[in-house]
Amino acid sequence: MSEDSSRNRIVPVLVPMPAERPYSYAVPDGMVVGPGSIVRVPLGPREVAGIVWDTPTDRVDAKKLRPISEVFDCPPLADADRRFVDWVAAYTLSPPGMVARMFLRAPAAFDPEPPLEGLVFAGGEPERATAARARVLELARDGMAWTRSGLAHAAGVSLTVVDGLKAQGLFEAVKIPPPPVVAAPDPAYATADLTLDQRDAAGTLSDKARGGFSVTLLDGVTGSGKTEVYFEAIAAAVKAGRQVLVLVPEIALTAAFLDRFHDRFGAKPAEWHSDLSPRMRERVWRQVAEGRVRVVAGARSALFLPFNDLGLIVVDEEHDPAYKQEDRVYYSARDMAVVRGHIGGFPVVLASATPAVESRVNADQGDTSASCCRPVLRKPRCPTCAPSTCAAARRRGAGSCLRSCWARWKRRSRAANRRCSSSTAAAMRR
């Protein structure tokens, strides 16, 4: 922001509409804003959320401009994120405001989450002692604050028991910070049993997860353990105190994937996809911006979450066409993930059993803008065949085994067709 704009209290604000550049707004007296601040500004007859940008402003008297209405109590958008918006807009020939709009997908999250009503033990004894009341007081005497429903559930009693104790003055009301959407992942919760090839690949990714920008193509056949390998890179990033984004095609974001993550880290990642309820989207957005969520697993739109300290992006099934958006802003989330990693100075992992042609070529050629490697995790196995029919073919190699299976299948198919034809002819003669 220029000295002139600071002196005249004028700032550029990027609004979520197809405009070619930010609009200039006046800053009211007493209001403090800076690049990245999320504000509410008037736009025509309505008010919209926008982001204070850091480009030069118009040379105009501030008195002739409309003032900013409000500054949200929200972490500002980082400098790397603003550079990412400008880069995506220039590369995709999209209005910067439409790219910034993807960072502002949860307007209700711009204000802090309201605290919860809680209870804390105030001392004393109940008028009449019962087993249910004793269980409640045993938990509450440690001085911790409890929600009303949480205390009842933990003690195994009904809400009326807790309400009765509160009515007798044994509890006093307090405010409790909102709970996290997911528990923090523990990198040491479980250790994976990796093969030699997997350990080599995991070591490579873990080393890069602690360094600067790099792009690694994790190539291995289906079932070869790619997920367990990049879990080790996630563990290294979490140990370093960084946030992690795992991009997956929305159809692949299943309970099975979330359960595998839970088995490794003791907690599930925060989810970000189209099926989330509006309230959950707001909570995830806010806690990602505050740095309280450490790992997010989401569809392509998760790339535009305002991470507080993003340190690793994993693009699973990087060849999948679902990463391409063809509405409003046209982009490939895989390619933009590499750009965001380059701007932010952190590593990106592309994982696939069938890598895209461009990813394969970049890895084979060793693109100068990325440090690429292609660890092969396990050799593909020959399909299961009966030893009695394929023992000789197995000795000649997997290709011979496949040809033998194919020939046997064709012989059986021809025999079945002949039997069917004979039966049909006999039925017609009758």
pLDDT digit string (tens) for 243-259?
Answer: 999 999 987 778 888 99
Residues 201 and 306 in one domain: yes
Q: Is residue 162 part of a domain?
A: yes
**Exposed / middle / buried, residue 139 (Cβ in 10 Å: 0-12, 13-18, 19+):** middle
CATH number at residue 142: 1.10.10.10
At residue 427, φ and ψ (nearest 5 deg) are: -65, -35
Q: Is residue 190 part of a domain?
A: no
**Mean pLDDT calculated for residue range 205-234:** 89
CATH number at residue 28: 3.40.1440.60
| pLDDT at residue 424, rounded to an integer | 43
Q: Is residue 263 part of a domain?
A: yes
Residue type, 213: F
Residues 357 and 396 in one domain: no
Residue whose C-alpha is closest to residue 144's, from 164, 126, 121: 121
pLDDT tens digits along 178-190: 889 999 999 999 9
- Six token digits for residue 195: 């093969």
Q: How far apart are CA 360 and CA 372, in angstroms?
A: 10
Question: Quick one: pLDDT band at residue 312, thresholds 50, 70, 90?
Answer: very high
Decide if pLDDT at 131 tops 50.
Answer: yes
- Six token digits for residue 246: 């795992």
Decide if pLDDT at 404 tops 50.
Answer: yes
Residues 205 and 354 in one domain: yes
Q: Is residue 243 part of a domain?
A: yes
Residues 203 and 333 in one domain: yes
Q: How far apart are CA 248 and CA 280, in angstroms?
A: 19
Residues 81 and 160 in one domain: no
pLDDT tens digits along 17-68: 998 899 999 999 999 999 999 999 999 999 999 999 998 887 888 888 999 9
| pLDDT at residue 4, rounded to an integer | 44
**Mean pLDDT calculated for residue range 128-144:** 89
State the DSSP code for 120: E
Q: How far apart are CA 161 and CA 167, in angstroms?
A: 10
Q: Is residue 426 part of a domain?
A: no
pLDDT tens digits along 351-362: 998 889 988 888
CB 76 within 8 A of CB 34: yes
Residues 280 and 228 in one domain: yes
How much of the chain exceeds pLDDT 90, in percent?
56
Decide if pLDDT at 421 tops 60.
Answer: no
Residues 140 and 62 in one domain: no
The boundaries of the domain holding residue 158 are: 116-176
At residue 250, φ and ψ (nearest 5 deg) are: -55, -35
Decide if pLDDT at 264 tops 80.
Answer: yes
CB 170 within 8 A of CB 126: yes
Q: Is residue 157 part of a domain?
A: yes
Residues 92 and 239 in one domain: no
How many domains are there within the chain?
A: 4
Q: How far apart are CA 387 and CA 393, in angstroms?
A: 9
Residues 200 and 245 in one domain: yes
Decide if pLDDT at 129 tops 70.
Answer: yes
- Six token digits for residue 406: 């194919």
Residues 209 and 88 in one domain: no
Q: Write down the H helix ranges in 224-277.
A: 226-239, 255-265
Q: How far apart are CA 353 and CA 349, in angstroms?
A: 13
Q: Is residue 424 part of a domain?
A: no
Residues 250 and 322 in one domain: yes
Residues 123 and 83 in one domain: no
**Exposed / middle / buried, residue 386 (Cβ in 10 Å: 0-12, 13-18, 19+):** exposed
